[in-house]
A and B are shown apart, each in its own frame.
Chain A
């Protein structure tokens, strides 16, 4: 969805220091600027320790900016001390790396219903929310709602954890490396389900990842973060057309894109930078048949 809507998250020259005023202080963000539009899929990439997680934790108020810079989420200035953070957290859902570690209820249904319950929704509405969230991640409501949480497989637990965030019905869903540590098939399924959520339900996706193939296949636009600063931004195609620049920031390009760059070096330029295997296949067919 490239039709630009309203800006839902705006970040301007954001700075953040962890453990400020202690001997352990670390400057994590030194000037991040980005805009996220309603309904789009934004990828945030960067090497380990670049500050990606720190940025997205500003989006739902887990970290409040007290230094330089501004974060505006859905029209609210996140630095405002009188801001209702819980209302923001319902709008902006954040899923962490290894989200299955956050499960605590005995039954799957109860765990997913935790958020809606905290929102004070009546039981029938809660049930509907749980049903919807489970459907979105691909868990059968009747089959799974009364299963024991801790008897599930790792992949299923992760789905339950993501459903727990989706049950808040957020406008923006942030996935912070949430696909690491699951098998390729599970990954693919999860990505297509998240994409469905974006296309059919208009949920804005913010996708933090260090897996370039994944980012290329899902993101409309990409921000590259290095050493606490925004260093590149553009559409996925624009970004992955510059492998040298990415390499400077410790990043690579998707495998299909590498193939395209190699072909170009050998005198067979591709009409566009392919982002998925399907695109590459289509283009190679075109070249071969001409």
Chain B
């Protein structure tokens, strides 16, 4: 049966008001922590390392007081894609990745395809790494307003402005893109309902009937684009009307102050990151 409530599925980019310690951290500190953990995430290939990192991510989510179930529900729309990738890794990467901390064992082989304990480990580790990144990004966007994220990025890019990095413009583009995600989700819901009211049916045909499903989408995509252009023009006009000229010398009403707790969180994350990186080849599995 159709379900038109899209906001249920868009958890990234949705801000939840709260007063947890994660909410109160300086947005720059949060971004720094995110960056450190993303780097760590891209280096560890072992079970132990990922279990540690995933535990840390879950601990941070719990600390933020945001519903765990709701956050997980955001993965639902991506599940078919994740499943396809996992299957491809399982069957075609058997020889490319020798298993970490184990003797290589081949369970099954047929032509180009094979399943080894290396490919099984790869699938599990990839899923864990995906979850870690997903939690971290959701956590940042659900505890920080988009404007604060943008200001933080701008402030962090400021030192590079001498190198002609357009910090302010970059953060503006980011804010606008993030800001419009829920608006378009809502607009899509309205258009979908309107089309369903005059006989369109969505979700007919299986997940893998791409052509059929794509054709159904035409009735949504055209109106959605028309709406997007209209909104973009309105936005330009609104910015113009407020004499927005962008760029240099713009002052801000919000100023961030890094407190002791912010430095503490960054330091703890950094220590965690360094320890894992140093010992990443010494884990048993």
Contact = CB atoms under 8 A, between A and B. Distances in A.
A18 B5 contact: yes
B1 A64 contact: yes
A158 B2 CA distance: 26
Interface residues of B, number: 32
Nearest to B194: A102
A191 B165 CA distance: 57
Contacts of B130: none
Interface in B16-73: 16, 66-67, 69-70, 73
Interface string A70-84: 000000000001000
8 contacts: A62-B4, A62-B196, A85-B1, A89-B199, A101-B187, A114-B219, A115-B199, A165-B197
Contacts of B102: none
A116 B67 CA distance: 45
B226 interface: yes
Contacts of A60: 197
Interface of A: 18-19, 21-24, 57, 60, 62-64, 81, 85-86, 89-90, 93-96, 99, 101-104, 114-119, 150, 164-165, 167-168
Interface string B178-201: 000000000100110111111111
A118 B194 contact: no
A19 B5 contact: yes
A93 B219 contact: no
B223 interface: yes
A64 B1 CA distance: 10
Given A89-B198, A94-B194, A102-B223, 12 more contacts: A19-B5, A22-B73, A23-B70, A24-B14, A62-B4, A64-B1, A81-B1, A93-B198, A104-B220, A118-B201, A165-B198, A168-B198
A64 B201 CA distance: 16
Contacts of A94: 193-194, 197
Interface of B: 1-2, 4-5, 7-8, 14, 16, 66-67, 69-70, 73, 187, 190-191, 193-201, 218-220, 222-223, 226-227
Given A101-B191, A101-B226, A19 B7 contact: yes
Given A19-B7, A24-B7, A99 B194 contact: yes
B226 to A, nearest CB: 7
Instruction: Rank and list the top 7 A-B pairs by shortest CB-CB distance, nearest first.
Output: A118-B199, A104-B222, A102-B194, A115-B198, A115-B199, A94-B197, A62-B193
A250 B185 CA distance: 30
